[in-house]
Structure 1
């Protein structure tokens, strides 16, 4: 970092709150330290409305319009270089700093700040800021708080630790207003989104044998209700409220007809193992993958077979 005064901060495709929060938080800290900074993530480059309140939006640029020269590159919340999609090649030209919290991180950077025990990449960044010579001001703190609060499910998931809560308190001390973050992230859904959520819930299916509840969102659904795919990030949480489930799956049909599968589970089921066996990744209770199948029904069959196989593997140990 001492050899360059420019930086490019990159998140993963279809960024969630932690990816956006850590990208913006780091970008703001770097800019405050005198760096020329740009930030981006792979196409489709869209900013979810619920995160548009975060400071630093002016730093973001579409991936094909980046102008920063000879930057230090930071990969945020990316378990592997492939998560950066079309930005991967440029990122690997380095120097590249990898900041993440996924247990299956491949340590692809020239420097790797990875802590699988952290609740979020935003938490890793907060813990590393001082060693990087960066200061967390009120604006950066707001972004990091948003990253932590979303990746812990408002501090209710099993990745919430005493250290996570202490960090959140410190961020509040630095100027974060929790109610403002909550209102923007969790109380700003459109009526169209609520109607789509109702549609997904109405046709969801509970497989008692596998303790699996699943639903899907198709491209036709998005067109019918006028909702963007990046607005469906939290839709899986509606499904996981069902009593008695162990695994939740939400199948999403992307514009190219690829099927993206989001997974959640109870603490006694390691859904990350299932996702990795299907060429994806993630955490023990939250993971995802892109299906090799061409339809939602085929992707569902594939997932069920893998859950069964994973159960057999666990029973044999």
Structure 2
């Protein structure tokens, strides 16, 4: 039995299914989670299917979460999408169910779960969920197609990232056959508030770039407060340094209320996720996250980026 089929059989065996995703969600986290929920609701209308996690205000236009009670986990199947490791799972009740399935496209460094579907060649968890549903013969709905397409577009950077394959485009084309407002979705994903535009200006003005294209910028609490931007909203500028032709890899250090820094690492072609792993993080080869607990560690991370880029370009 294939993993695809094994997941389908587990779903058929449970009356209650609760779907989790990672903290601080992006469009793929919500797209894969809610897309799977909509698929299961369409094909198994008698089952109780719930999506749990904190509602992210900046992404409420994609979908919102359900109210999930502790008793819902009794004898339930739990599925976690788009989450590489257990500390990042939103809602720590994921372990309270009867059986746990992991569906993900990140490197499988934390092989949690009783049944795993991990495909690091996929552009997104939304691509995996769609591929799974189409392969096992489940019907999709317009609502499922909408959020899954959002997830793929989000994690491929509108099909610009190297993770975009012929299979990605084929699956996206299948989703576009369904009835949802593609243009409105695209406009929403491509727009941002005026305050984010101003923050982008700050990033360009304060970006530090070395001779090889390694770059960094620090967003302190004062900067975020001055621009009236939350930590979640600041994710909108993560790709900003990469629009500069000479920038190859970059880090955005975002100061947290507790005093440490959330580090967003990105790269055009040079692998940087090993740097993230050394600093309480991880992720994709070209898109990772880490944590820094001092200004000295900030400098250390930037030095590692500079060394990595210098080694790759010489």
* TM > 0.5 fold call: yes
Q: Secondary structure at the match of 2:176?
A: helix
Shift of 1:96: 0.7
Residue 308 to residue 226, structure 1, CA distance change in 2 (3 Å): closer
Q: Which runs of 5+ in 1 are unaligned?
A: none
Distance 1:79 1:242, change over 3 A: same
Spell out the pairing of 1:33-182 with structure 2 (5 A cutoff): 33-34=44-45, 35-41=47-53, 45-49=54-58, 51-54=59-62, 56-57=63-64, 59-61=65-67, 68-70=72-74, 71-84=76-89, 87-88=91-92, 90-91=94-95, 93-130=97-134, 134-182=138-186
Aligned residues of 2:123 and 2:163 also touching (Cα < 8 A): yes
TM-score normalized by structure 1? 0.86
- Tell me the residue number matched to 1:207: 210
Contact 2:106 2:284 (C-alpha < 8 Å) held by counterparts: yes
For the residues of structure 2 that align with 1:46 and 1:299, how far apart are their CA atoms? 31
In the alignment of these two chains, the number of paired residues is: 301
Shift in Å at residue 179 of structure 1?
Answer: 1.3
Preserved contact between residue 37 and residue 68 of structure 1 (Cα < 8 Å): no
C-alpha separation in 2, matches of 1:90 and 1:13: 13
CA RMSD of aligned residues (A): 2.5
Distance in 2 between the 1:6 and 1:255 partners?
37
Q: What residue in structure 1 maps to residue 232 of structure 2?
A: 230
Write the distance in 1 (CA, Å) between the matches of 2:241 and 2:81: 28
Using the size of structure 2 for normalisation, the TM-score is 0.86
Q: Write out aligned runs for 1:2-17 (5 A).
A: 2-17=12-27
The 5 Å alignment of 1:251-262 reads 251-262=253-264
Unaligned runs of 5+ in 2: 1-10
Structure 1 residue 271, shift from structure 2 partner: 0.8
Secondary structure in 1 matching 2:188: helix
Between the aligned partners of 1:105 and 1:171, the Cα distance in structure 2 is: 30
SS of equivalent to 1:74: strand
Runs of 4+ residues over 6 Å off in structure 1: 311-315
- Report the Cα offset of residue 133 of structure 1: 6.5
Q: What is the Cα deviation at residue 288 of structure 1?
A: 1.3
Quote how far apart the aligned CAs of 1:139 are. Answer: 0.5
